Amino acid sequence: MDRSSLFQLIQEQLDPDNTGFIAVENFTSLVEHHELQLDPSKLDMLFALVQSNEDGQVCYQELIELMNSKRSSSFRRAIANGRRTLQREILLDETGLGVYKRFVRYVAYEILPCETDRRWYFHQNSLCPPPVFMAIITIIQIIVFMCYGIMLNKWVLQTYQPDFMKSSLVYHPRHRLQVWRFFSYMFMHVGLEQLGFNALLQLMIGVPLEMVHGILRISLLYMAGVVAGSLTVSITDMRAPVVGGSGGVYALCSAHLANVVMNWAGMRCPYKLLRMILALVCMSSEVGRAVWLRFSPPLPSSGPQPSFMAHLAGAVVGISMGLLILRSYEESLQKQCSWWVILFSFITFLLFAIFWNIFAYELLGVQLPPAP
């Protein structure tokens, strides 16, 4: 029996009056004895759809959407409320998987807190579109760093080299009207250690997040952290330049860590407590290093060193906007009131920061360092 035949059977025999609903008893019998070969994830979803229903009937349209690889809003709510049981063993018990499928299973357990969601992602996953955003950003950052390293013959504390700070990519308060600098500073780095830290976290955390939640959501989160980082520096540390992608990196990391904490009982990633502690120690150490370079630079400098406020701004973006994005797997953000509240708050901050950069520097009489 093919899919169209199954749908016709359901509509003609189980819903002869064309009401759009099917009795749970009849639907359960059909699912248990059907001749259509379904993949394990959809079979589990069909059983879950039946068991999550409290009205004694199943919506025909929900079945159609599920069979076409879509999970209806009511079914997603059932998953969120935990009103479902799984018929098969947990995903971790599956054997005989290839290298790629084992990696997908690792990503599912690393990112998603619900076994149903993990199973759904595992069976629905494909490499189209591939998770290329974080890889491309990282490659560009490495290429830019290598070019400046070769040109300046300097691989650490590059900001102490005047030619480095003259780059049109660096954010500098003297050039804040060049709007692209609020974005492009993410391609420049203080030195090899900052680049290595950011690249490692982007690939270890950003790529799995992008595989699960898609390029649009993760790129939005990363770029929101980058923009919030430079704008926050322009408001709170008005004399300081900014380099490095730490705003975006900390948005990803803080969102992921907050998601793990909020769903601690459901997360099945190994050694999660130890990994949480190590991540917090590394992130705190990076912030401490940035604070030290800002206020106690090891070498004489002609002007202020890059600010650390971008790290903190990225973390705030991750905990607010990012946590909602990661908790809304397979759900539309546009239908959630909290998403609009966060988006409105972010836009309000952007507008305030724009007016601040246009008017506040002159009104406050800020003595800016000379342009590099």
Residues assigned a catalytic role: 246, 311
DSSP structure string for 146-173: HHHHHHHT--S-GGGSHHHHT-TTSB-G
257 CB-side CA count, 13 A: 23
For residue 111, which amino acid is it? I
Q: Is 95 exposed, middle or buried (0-12, 13-18, 19+ CB in 10 A)?
A: exposed
Query: How many other C-beta atoms lie within 10 A of the C-beta of residue 44?
Result: 21
Query: Helix (H, G, I), strand (E, B), or coil: what is residue 129?
Result: coil
202-229 exposure pattern, b = at least 16 Cβ within 10 A, e = fewer: beebbbbbbbbbbeebbbbbbbbbbbbb
Q: Is 113 exposed, middle or buried (0-12, 13-18, 19+ CB in 10 A)?
A: buried
Q: How far apart are CA 343 and CA 347, in angstroms?
A: 6
| CB 366 within 8 Å of CB 239 | yes
DSSP structure string for 18-58: --SEEEHHHHHHHHHH--S---HHHHHHHHHHHHT-SSSEE
Q: Is 364 exposed, middle or buried (0-12, 13-18, 19+ CB in 10 A)?
A: exposed
Cis ω for the linkage preceding 40 (within 30 of 0): no
| CB 6 within 8 Å of CB 33 | no
Q: Where are the alpha helices (DSSP H) in 98-206?
A: 99-111, 115-124, 133-152, 162-165, 181-184, 192-201
